[in-house]
């Protein structure tokens, strides 16, 4: 990042440090407007925590970023590359979307591991078949990643035989296998029994410490405060307040955020 | 007893060879029709789930009609209409009457019938795949066809195999219906042997035995396929984990 700092903040430099830029994102399901103009920038190395009540549009925003949902309007730029959209917000270039998606790794609340494949097979699936990495290389790397998330001895186990915490750690290994430029976490610990939350947070904390860029939707406020360098509070499809964690958590300005924080802690 | 053995002997004057040839024709047709049915079924299922309105309507007509009309009637219709059309085309192009190949005709006719059932089995199985698994593939940039091949089809297999096993057994037995259009599969060969020798009991018992063997072998094979398709799913019986 030294180079980026040295250069005066021209547009070009901005593009080279911007990992994700969302501008005026709208999304409606039928007549229900879920996102009402959200703008958000994450620079490389940023950990952006997204908090907000249930139904405030957190998942929808994350899903719009890799086009699992089709935005109704807005602009999305990933790593300096503007995603081509039709005027109705649908992606107009399927190949571009597929290429961009391989740089964004999503970790789901429900893990969504492929149940007919072992952990190792889950982790090598995308590198081998989508990214065309030689299989031997992908396998070696997958073993490393599984070891890293504490599942080195489970490579040949099927997901159904593992606890939720183990499955989520495997899902994180699968995400890391594509060497993503941004990781998108959608409430990665919400489906877990309380005693399993810690092991998953430890892995995510590790990734944050090594400078991974991530957007993290979470209900773990303590954790968000600790790992994030930027916090976004979403209320009914709008960003109600955002800023450094110390500000957002320590000195909230909006009444709604104050209420929200007191209700979750 | 000795007389029966003589009648069933593989070389003439025994009729055993004829029965086995009939069995082989039956299996060829069943196999071909089953494969054709699976291909039709896969396209049919995807068409019903993701196709446009016209595609869905046409498929609904196809599966409804085929499953409503008795198979024997369908076979008569498809066989005679099919050979009529082929002959019309052939004459129009200046050729003579075409000799319809029995095996090919049987495969087409039964395959179209099987396709309707396979469409419904596979549609249900695809819908039973947890959507999150397909979404995960999509979110990692997997193109649609690769997602189908690498995720949807393997994941739906465990839901589809029991129904598909039934469909295979129906295929083997439906071949007997082709006797009505004069095709020399096992049932027709048996009838000919029986009426030539008047040993009805012996021959139909032998044919029944052959059909039973096919069913038993198929059962064994499908049990293995099902075990493979269910890999990764803890068994209900074992329930300890
Ligand atoms: N596919 C969908 N169809 C219709 N409504 C949806 C769909 N997905 C989400 N919604 C609605 O959008 C709103 C926001 O949902 P979501 O983004 O999942 O909220 P959050 O993740 O913040 O809890 C909710 O009211 C939800 O019911
Ligand atoms: Mg959500």
CATH number of the domain where residue A194 is located = 3.40.50.300
Averaged pLDDT score across all residues of chain A: 89
Residues 6+ apart with CB under 8 A from A227: A47, A49, A204, A205, A208, A216
In 10 A of CB B4, how many CB atoms? Answer: 14
Contact indicator for A113, A175 with CB cutoff of 8 Å:
no
Confidence (pLDDT) at A131: 93
Inter-helix orientation angle B16-50/B153-174, to 10°: 140
Residue A74 is assigned to a structural domain of this protein: yes
Q: Say yes or no: CB of residue A57 within 6 Å of ligand 1.
A: yes
Contacts of A105 in chain B (CB under 8 A): 140
Confidence (pLDDT) at B62: 94
Write the CA distances from B30 to B104, B109, B162, B210, integer angstroms: 11, 11, 18, 14
Q: Say yes or no: CB of residue A54 within 6 Å of ligand 1.
A: yes
DSSP A109: T
B103-122 average pLDDT score: 91
Contacts of B233 in chain A (CB under 8 A): 115, 158, 160
Residue A140 is assigned to a structural domain of this protein: no
Inter-helix orientation angle B16-50/B102-128, to 10°: 40
Percent of chain A surpassing pLDDT 90:
72
Helix or strand run (H / E) with residue B56: helix B53-68
Whether the CB of B133 is below 8 Å from some CB of chain A: the reply is yes
Residue A169 is assigned to a structural domain of this protein: no
d(C-alpha B23, C-alpha B20), whole Å: 5
Instruction: Look up the domain containing A49 and give its range.
Output: 18-111+182-264
Contacts of A101 in chain B (CB under 8 A): 138-141
How many domains is chain A partitioned into structurally?
1
d(C-alpha A104, C-alpha A100), whole Å: 7
Is pLDDT at A123 greater than 50 in this prediction? yes
β-strand pairing of A104-107 with A238-243: unpaired
Among all bound ligands, the one having the nearest atom to the CA of A51 is: 1
3-state SS assignment for residue B240: coil
Helix or strand run (H / E) with residue A22: strand A18-29
In 10 A of CB A101, how many CB atoms? Answer: 24
d(C-alpha B71, C-alpha A46), whole Å: 65
Q: Say yes or no: CB of residue A59 within 6 Å of ligand 1.
A: yes
d(C-alpha A159, C-alpha B6), whole Å: 59
Question: Chain A window 46-105: which residues touch B at a Cβ cutoff of 8 Å?
Answer: 66, 68, 97-102, 104-105
A208-212 average pLDDT score: 90
pTM as predicted? 0.85
Alpha carbon A164 to its chain's center: 19
Q: In what order do the strands lie in the sheet with A18-29?
A: A32-43, A18-29, A73-78, A81-82
Label residue A11 by pLDDT band (50, 70, 90).
low
Look at residues A239, A123, A109 and name the one whose alpha carbon lies nearest to residue A179.
A123
Instruction: Please report the atom of ligand 1 found closest to the CA of residue A69.
Output: 1
Label residue A10 by pLDDT band (50, 70, 90).
low
Output the residue whose Cα is nearest ligand 1's atom 1.
A29
Is pLDDT at A8 greater than 50 in this prediction? no
Q: Which two tokens stand for residue A99?
A: 């290429």
Q: Which residue of A has its CA nearest to B138?
A: A68
Look at residues A105, A101, A104 and name the one whose alpha carbon lies nearest to residue A174.
A105
B220-234 average pLDDT score: 91
Residues 6+ apart with CB under 8 A from A149: A169, A170, A172, A173, A203
Give the one of B141, B155, B233 whose C-beta lies nearest to A102's C-beta.
Answer: B141
Please give the backbone phi and psi of residue A223, each rounded to the nearest 5 degrees, phi first: -65, -45
Q: Say yes or no: CB of residue A34 within 6 Å of ligand 1.
A: yes
Contacts of B232 in chain A (CB under 8 A): 115-118, 158-160
Residues 6+ apart with CB under 8 A from B143: A98
Q: Which two tokens stand for residue A234?
A: 């979403």
Most B CBs within 10 Å, among A106, A112, A156, A163, to test the B interface: A112
Give the one of B136, B143, B232 whose C-beta lies nearest to A108's C-beta.
Answer: B136
Q: Say yes or no: CB of residue A262 within 6 Å of ligand 1.
A: no
Residue A5 is assigned to a structural domain of this protein: no
d(C-alpha A178, C-alpha A104), whole Å: 9
What spacing in Å lies between the alpha carbon of A26 and ligand 2's midpoint? 17
d(C-alpha A111, C-alpha A132), whole Å: 24
Q: Which two tokens stand for residue B41?
A: 């079924």
CA dihedral defined by B119, B214, B193, B34, rounded to 10 degrees? 20
Give the one of B133, B138, B233 whose C-beta lies nearest to A68's C-beta.
Answer: B138
Write the CA distances from A231 to A6, A257, B78, integer angstroms: 27, 12, 67
Alpha carbon B240 to its chain's center: 38
What CATH number does the domain located at B2-229 have? 1.10.3720.10
Reported ipTM exceeds the 0.95 cut: no
Output the residue whose Cα is nearest ligand 1's atom 21.
A59
Please give the backbone phi and psi of residue A150, each rounded to the nearest 5 degrees, phi first: 80, 25
- Which of the pair, A121 or B8, is modelled with greater confidence? A121
Label residue A6 by pLDDT band (50, 70, 90).
very low
Please give the backbone phi and psi of residue A78, each rounded to the nearest 5 degrees, phi first: -115, 120
Is pLDDT at A54 greater than 80 in this prediction? yes
Q: Say yes or no: CB of residue A127 within 6 Å of ligand 1.
A: no
Contact A126 B139 (CB under 8 A): no
B33-46 average pLDDT score: 95
Residue A198 is assigned to a structural domain of this protein: yes
Confidence (pLDDT) at B241: 42
Output the residue whose Cα is nearest ligand 1's atom 24.
A55
3-state SS assignment for residue B164: helix
Contacts of A215 in chain B (CB under 8 A): none
Whether the CB of A108 is below 8 Å from some CB of chain B: the reply is yes
Strand partners of residue B238: none
Give the one of B136, B142, B150 whose C-beta lies nearest to A112's C-beta.
Answer: B136
Residue A1 is assigned to a structural domain of this protein: no
Write the CA distances from A102 to A40, A131, A173, B140, B209, integer angstroms: 21, 8, 14, 5, 57
């Amino acid at each position: 990042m030294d180079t980026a700092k040295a250069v005066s903040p021209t547009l070009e430099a901005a593009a080279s440090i911007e990992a994700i830029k969302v501008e005026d994102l709208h999304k409606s399901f039928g007549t229900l407007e879920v996102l009402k103009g959200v703008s958000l920038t994450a620079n490389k190395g940023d950990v952006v925590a997204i908090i907000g009540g249930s139904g405030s549009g957190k998942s929808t925003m994350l899903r719009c970023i890799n086009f699992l949902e089709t935005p109704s309007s807005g602009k999305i730029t990933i790593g300096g590359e503007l995603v081509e959209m039709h005027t109705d917000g649908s992606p107009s270039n399927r190949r571009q979307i597929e290429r961009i998606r391989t740089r964004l790794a999503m970790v789901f609340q429900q893990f969504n591991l492929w149940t007919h494949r072992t952990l190792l097979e889950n982790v090598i699936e995308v590198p081998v078949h989508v990214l065309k990495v030689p299989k031997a290389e992908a396998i070696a790397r997958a073993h490393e990643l599984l070891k890293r998330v504490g599942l080195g001895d489970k490579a040949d186990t099927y997901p159904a035989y593992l606890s939720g915490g183990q499955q989520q750690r495997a899902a994180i290994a699968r995400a890391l296998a594509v060497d993503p430029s941004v990781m998108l976490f959608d409430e990665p610990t919400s489906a877990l029994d309380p005693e399993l939350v810690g092991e998953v947070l430890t892995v995510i904390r590790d990734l944050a410490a090594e400078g991974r860029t991530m957007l993290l939707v979470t209900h773990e406020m303590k954790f968000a405060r600790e790992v994030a360098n930027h916090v976004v509070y979403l209320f009914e499809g709008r960003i109600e307040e955002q800023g450094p964690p110390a500000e957002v958590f320590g000195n909230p300005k909006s009444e709604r955020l104050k209420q929200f924080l007191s209700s979750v802690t | 007893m000795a007389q029966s053995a003589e009648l069933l002997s593989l070389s003439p004057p025994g009729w055993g060879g004829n029965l086995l040839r009939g069995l082989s024709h039956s299996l060829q047709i069943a196999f071909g029709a089953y494969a054709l049915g699976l291909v039709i079924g896969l396209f049919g299922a995807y068409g019903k789930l993701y196709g446009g309105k016209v595609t869905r309507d046409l498929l609904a007509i196809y599966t409804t009609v085929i499953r409503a009309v008795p198979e024997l009637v369908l076979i008569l219709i498809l066989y005679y209409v099919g050979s009529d059309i082929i002959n019309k085309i052939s004459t129009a192009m200046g050729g003579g009457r075409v000799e319809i190949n029995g095996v090919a005709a049987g495969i087409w006719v039964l395959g179209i019938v099987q396709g309707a059932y396979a469409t419904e089995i596979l549609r249900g199985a695809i819908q039973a795949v947890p959507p999150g698994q397909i979404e995960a593939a999509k979110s990692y940039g997997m193109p649609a066809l690769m997602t189908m091949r690498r995720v949807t089809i393997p994941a739906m297999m465990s839901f589809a195999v029991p129904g598909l096993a039934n469909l295979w057994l129906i295929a083997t037995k439906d071949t007997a219906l082709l006797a009505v259009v004069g095709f020399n599969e096992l049932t027709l060969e048996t009838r000919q042997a029986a009426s030539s020798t008047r040993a009805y009991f012996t021959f139909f018992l032998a044919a029944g035995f052959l059909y039973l063997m096919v069913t038993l072998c198929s059962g064994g094979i499908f049990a293995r396929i099902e075990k493979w398709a269910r890999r990764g799913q803890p068994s209900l019986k074992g329930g300890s984990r």
